[in-house]
Amino acid sequence: MVFNHSVKVPTQYRKAAAVLRKAISEKKSVRGLIYEQTHAKVPNLLALMSKYSDNKDAIEEAIEKTKLLVDNPRLDPSLGRILVAELLFGAGKLTGQNAKPVACVLSYKDKLQEAIGGAPAKSSKSARVSKPRYVRINTNAISINEAHEILSQEGFKRKDVGTENYDEFLQAIQAMDEDEYIVDIHVPSLLIFCPKWRNYWAKHDLVAEKKFMLQDRATCIVSELLNPKPGSVVLDMCAAPGMKTIHLSNLMQNSGKIYAVEQNEHRFQLLRNMVLEAQASCVEPIKGDVLAIDPQPDVEYILVDPSCSGSGMQNRLSLSKDDRVDEDRLRRLAGLQIKILSHAMSSFPNVKRIVYSTCSLYEEENEQVVKRCLGLCPQFKLLSGKKCLERKWNNFGNTQYKGIGKNCLYSLPDKDLTDGIFMAVFERINDE
Ligand X SMILES: C[S@@+](CC[C@H](N)C(=O)[O-])C[C@H]1O[C@@H](n2cnc3c(N)ncnc32)[C@H](O)[C@@H]1O
336, with CB counted inside 10 A (0-12, 13-18, 19+), is middle
- Sheet strands (E) in 273-389: 283-287, 301-304, 353-358, 380-382
List Cβ neighbours of 271 (8 Å cut-off, separation of 6 or more). 239, 240, 241, 242, 245, 260, 262, 285
Per the CB < 8 A criterion, the answer to whether 252 and 232 are in contact is yes
Stretch that binds ligand X, among 36-44, 67-75, 261-269, 400-408 (CB under 6 A): 261-269
Q: Does 20 bind ligand X (CB under 6 A)?
A: no
Nearer to ligand X, 12 or 337 (CB): 337
Stretch that binds ligand X, among 162-170, 185-193, 305-313, 410-418 (CB under 6 A): 305-313
Shortest distance in whole angstroms from residue 238 CB to ligand X: 3
**168 labelled as ligand-binding?**
no
Shortest distance in whole angstroms from residue 267 CB to ligand X: 4
Q: Does 214 bind ligand X (CB under 6 A)?
A: no
**289 labelled as ligand-binding?**
yes
Shortest distance in whole angstroms from residue 356 CB to ligand X: 12
Whether 359 is catalytic is yes
Stretch that binds ligand X, among 16-24, 49-57, 80-88, 303-311 (CB under 6 A): 303-311
Residue 250 phi, psi (nearest 5): -65, -45
Q: Does 404 bind ligand X (CB under 6 A)?
A: no
Residues 329-388 that bind ligand X (CB under 6 A): 340
Per the CB < 8 A criterion, the answer to whether 311 and 364 are in contact is no
Shortest distance in whole angstroms from residue 220 CB to ligand X: 10
The Cα–Cα gap between 109 and 92 comes to 9
Stretch that binds ligand X, among 78-86, 301-309, 364-372, 389-397 (CB under 6 A): 301-309
Pairing label, strands 301-304, 233-236: parallel
Q: Does 258 bind ligand X (CB under 6 A)?
A: no
Measured N-to-C along each axis, helices 56-66 and 77-89 cross at an angle, to the nearest 10 degrees, of 110
Residue 258 phi, psi (nearest 5): -120, 115
The Cα–Cα gap between 168 and 351 comes to 37
Residues 281-300 that bind ligand X (CB under 6 A): 289-291
Counting every residue written for the chain, the total comes to 432
Given 282, 308, 359, 373, the catalytic residue: 359
The Cα–Cα gap between 145 and 355 comes to 29
Residues 227-256 that bind ligand X (CB under 6 A): 238-244
**262 labelled as ligand-binding?**
yes
Measured N-to-C along each axis, helices 243-251 and 217-226 cross at an angle, to the nearest 10 degrees, of 50
Q: Does 263 bind ligand X (CB under 6 A)?
A: yes
The Cα–Cα gap between 173 and 99 comes to 46
Nearer to ligand X, 339 or 392 (CB): 339
Nearer to ligand X, 9 or 251 (CB): 251
Q: Does 216 bind ligand X (CB under 6 A)?
A: no
- Binding-site entries for S-adenosyl-L-methionine: 262, 289, 305
Residues that bind ligand X (CB under 6 A): 238-244, 261-264, 267, 289-291, 305-307, 340
- Binding-site entries: 262, 289, 305
Residues identified as active-site: 359
